[in-house]
Every structure is written in C-alpha cells, then in structure tokens.
Amino acid sequence: MGAELLTIPAGADDHEVTGCYTFDKDVHLYSYFPHMHLRGKHMTMTAIFPNGEKKTLLKVPRYDFNWQHTYLLKEPIAIPSGTRILVTAHFNNSKRNAFNPDPTATVR
C-alpha cells in the first residue's frame, strides 16, 4: 500500500501518509492489523465500493505501539471486485512524541 515510499520529515507532528489497494476479485475481510511503529498517531481504513459508497472499516484515534493487535471481525465483510481500501495514517515525528527515539531524523 505504498509503504516503500513512506517518508516522515524530521520534526513533523501530524504527517499524513495514504495508501490504497483495489481488489480485482470478490473477497471477504476477516481481520485488520494497523501497524505504525513508535511515531504512529492515528489511522483510518475506509472501503470505497464500486458504486461510490464509502464505509469506515477501522478508526484508531490514538495509536499506541504497545497496544497494537489484530482486530478480528465478528462477521466477515464482503468486498466486491473493484472496491478500493484507503488507509490514511498520521505520524508524530516531533519532540512532543514521548516515544520518538529521534525527532531530528527523517524516517523512511
């Protein structure tokens, strides 16, 4: 989803990174695993269906690296072919992030 192009500037306190994937066949989603490391701030996963309808699949408003886990769904979600999954993540690479090992470093 574009992580190979990820760059978080030194000192950025709310840097947005997006990635998306379009399914080329029908699938079912069973779980989510938001993963952002120590500079993660918040993340949203949204399905954009072929008819234009949008559905928020997951919203993590206060990401904590020490509390990341897999979210197992009670019922699988049917995702038809042509659906896009958009992931929007924000990172805090500033000195205000107590978990940041080096706010002066650009992260790639």
Per domain, the residue ranges of the chain are 14-91
Identify the pLDDT of residue 18.
93
Q: Model-level pTM?
A: 0.87
* SS3 state at 22: strand
Task: Check residue 24 and give its pLDDT.
Answer: 98
The closest alpha carbon to 13, from 87, 81, 97, belongs to 97
CB atoms within 10 A of CB 14: 11
Per-residue pLDDT of the chain (108 residues; tens, 9 = 90+): 445 678 999 999 999 999 999 999 999 999 998 888 899 999 999 999 999 999 999 999 998 888 778 889 999 999 999 999 999 999 999 999 999 999 999 998
The top-level CATH class assigned to 14-91 is mainly beta
